[in-house]
Amino acid sequence: MFQKVLIANRGEIALRVIRACKELGIQTVAIHSDVDRETLPVLTADERVCVGPAPSMKSYLNIPQILTAAKLTEADAIHPGYGFLAERAEFAEICEEHGIKFIGPSARAISLMGDKAVARKTMIENKVPVMPGTEDIADVEMAKKFGKEHGFPIMIKAAAGGGGKGMRVAHDASELERLFEQASIEAESAFGDARIYIEKFLAKARHIEFQVMADSHGNVIHLGERDCSVQRRNQKLIEECPSLVLSEKKRKEGGQMAVNAAKACNYEGAGTVEFLYDEASEQFYFLEMNTRIQVEHPVTEEVCGIDLVKEQIRVASGLPLSVTQDEVVMRGHAIECRINAEKPDEGFRPSVGTIDRLHFPGGPGVRIDSYLTSGSKVQPFYDSLIAKVITYGANREEALTRMRRVLDEMIVSGISTTASFHRALLDNTYFLRGDVHTTFVETEYRGEEVGV
C-alpha cells in the first residue's frame, strides 16, 4: 500500500479522496491555488503545497509545479480525481517517468478512450454496438453528406471531448453549417483539439452508464448501472442507481459490454462506460468511456456497498480486486442531485460569493459530499459544483422522499444555488414515473421553470 498520496485536485473530490486515504492509513498531500489555501480539503490533509495563482492553467493544470510538489513531499502516488488532469495521458506518462504511481489507467488506455473517434473505432473492432457515425471529419461538407445519408437530426461531437463540451445537435443542413464551427471553436478552447466527428442523434434516448473496476491481475468487473438521463444541455443533473428500465437480462448484457470495452484497452482502475439506450428497441449504443472516477460514483457506492475510491487506490497499489463479479450485489435505490452555484432564473449564470450561513441535513440514508463550510468562498475560477446530495432508500420512492426532505431543509446562504430547481424537478410528472430521456428538460419539462 502507498505511504503518501498527493491529490491533484480541489473541492469535494479532493476531500473525498483524502477521507478514503485516511481510512486506508495513507498520508495525504493537498495541492491548492493561492485562493484555495483555507478550503476544507486543504485544511484536512496532512500536508499542503501551493502550486500557483487562481487560474487553473497556473495551478491545478500546472504539471511541473504538481510534480515538484509530489517530489518535495515524497509522495509515492498521485490521485487526479476527476476533471483537470484526470484524463490527460501525458500527465499519467510523466508521473510514471518520475517514479510516481498515477492512480488511474495507463497513458495508453487514457489516449485510446480519450480520443472519442478512436474509442468508437476500438469498440467497433471489439463488437460493442455504436451509434452510426464518422471518424474525424475535415469540414462541414462531409458532415452534410452524413446527414443526407442517415437523416437529421445529427450530433456534432468533439473528438477529444467530454462533459458536454463541443457538442451540438443539428436538425437540418443550414443549422449544421452554423453549429459545426461553434462546436469546433469550443472544442479547441476546452481541449486544445478542434477535431470533430458526427453521430446519428437519438432524440429520446436514455443515458445509461456502467461502472467498471479492473486490477493489474487481469480481473475486470462491473458494478451495475447509473441512469443519467436527466440533463440540461448535455450536462448531467440527476443520477440514479439502478435504472428503472433495465431488466436483469439487459443489465447483464450492458455490464458485459462495459467489461468488454475495458478489456479492449487493457484497463486498470475505476472507469465508466457510457451508453445511449433506446427503450423501444432495447438497444445499447456505446457513447464514450471516462477513464476516471465519476462525479456520480456515490450512487453506485450506496447501492453496491463498495467504496470505489478506496478500491481504486487498492488496485493502483497492485492489490487484486476485493470482490468478484458474483459477489457484487445491488440493494435498494440511490439518487444524486448535483448542486451548483448558479442562478436558475437567470439562465444558470454562475453565482460567486461567501457562504454566510450553511446547513446540510442528515438522517437515515442521507449523504452530502461537499467542501463547503460557513465562511467558504465560492470562486469564479472553477467549476460551479458545490455539493452532491445523495439519498438512499429501500426503493425509489423512499430515496425520493428523503431527497425532497433534504432539499427542503438545506440552507446555503450568500450565493444562489440550483437546489430549488432540483426540488421542482423531483415533483415533475414525467420524472416521477421515470419517463425521462436526455432532452427531457428541454422538451417535457416547461422551459420557463428551468431557464431554458
| Model confidence at 452: pLDDT above 70 | no
Domain assignment of residue 114, yes or no: no
Shared domain for 317 and 388, answered yes or no, is yes
Q: Which ranges in 59-172 belong to alpha helices (H)?
A: 63-72, 89-97, 107-114, 116-125, 140-150
Domain boundary among 171, 200, 229: 200
Domain assignment of residue 230, yes or no: yes
Domain assignment of residue 435, yes or no: yes
Domain boundary among 167, 200, 233: 200
Q: Which of 118-132, 361-375, 433-447 has the highest mean pLDDT?
A: 361-375
| Side chain identity, residue 302 | E
| Model confidence at 450: pLDDT above 70 | no
Contact (CB, 8 A) for 227 and 299: no
Average pLDDT over residues 204-219: 97
Shared domain for 171 and 242, answered yes or no, is no
CATH of the domain at 179: 3.30.1490.20
For residues 312 and 81, give the distance between their C-alpha atoms in angstroms, rounded to a whole number.
11
Contact (CB, 8 A) for 161 and 187: yes
| Sign, Cα dihedral of 132, 250, 307, 398 | positive
Domain assignment of residue 222, yes or no: yes
For residues 350 and 298, give the distance between their C-alpha atoms in angstroms, rounded to a whole number.
25
In this structure, the number of other CB atoms found within 10 A of the CB of residue 104 comes to: 28
Domain boundary among 153, 172, 200: 200
Residues labelled catalytic: 292
pLDDT of residue 170: 94
pLDDT of residue 165: 78
pLDDT of residue 188: 85
Shared domain for 152 and 240, answered yes or no, is no
User: Quick one: cell of 398?
Assistant: 423512499
Shared domain for 381 and 233, answered yes or no, is yes
Domain assignment of residue 121, yes or no: no
| Model confidence at 446: pLDDT above 70 | no
For residues 295 and 384, give the distance between their C-alpha atoms in angstroms, rounded to a whole number.
13
pLDDT tens-digit series, residues 44-55: 999 999 999 999
In this structure, the number of other CB atoms found within 10 A of the CB of residue 117 comes to: 21
| Model confidence at 74: pLDDT above 50 | yes
Domain assignment of residue 125, yes or no: no
CATH of the domain at 56: 3.40.50.20
| Model confidence at 447: pLDDT above 50 | no
pLDDT tens-digit series, residues 105-158: 999 999 999 888 789 889 999 889 998 888 888 789 999 999 999 999 999 988
Shared domain for 213 and 187, answered yes or no, is no
142 burial class (0-12, 13-18, 19+ CB within 10 angstroms)?
A: middle
Range of the domain at 34: 4-103
Cα torsion 294, 297, 300, 302 to 10°: value is 180
For residues 289 and 312, give the distance between their C-alpha atoms in angstroms, rounded to a whole number.
16
Shared domain for 327 and 397, answered yes or no, is yes
For residues 19 and 32, give the distance between their C-alpha atoms in angstroms, rounded to a whole number.
17
Higher pLDDT, 73 or 116: 73
CATH of the domain at 324: 3.30.470.20
Domain assignment of residue 127, yes or no: no
pLDDT of residue 116: 80
Average pLDDT over residues 254-280: 96
pLDDT tens-digit series, residues 398-413: 999 999 999 999 999 9
State residue 110 phi and psi, 5-degree precision. Answer: -65, -45
Average pLDDT over residues 308-315: 98
Shared domain for 190 and 212, answered yes or no, is no
Shared domain for 215 and 196, answered yes or no, is no
pTM of the model: 0.91
Shared domain for 190 and 235, answered yes or no, is no
Shared domain for 158 and 220, answered yes or no, is no
Shared domain for 210 and 195, answered yes or no, is no
346 burial class (0-12, 13-18, 19+ CB within 10 angstroms)?
A: exposed
For residues 18 and 31, give the distance between their C-alpha atoms in angstroms, rounded to a whole number.
12
Q: Of the candidates 272, 262, 278, 266, which has an alpha carbon nearest to the alpha carbon of residue 293?
A: 272
State residue 155 phi and psi, 5-degree precision. Answer: -105, 125
Shared domain for 444 and 369, answered yes or no, is yes
369 sits in the region (left: phi over 0; alpha: psi -120 to 50; else beta) called beta
Domain assignment of residue 108, yes or no: no
| Model confidence at 449: pLDDT above 80 | no
Number of domains making up the chain: 3
Beta bridge partners of 270: 213
Q: How many residues does the chain have?
A: 452
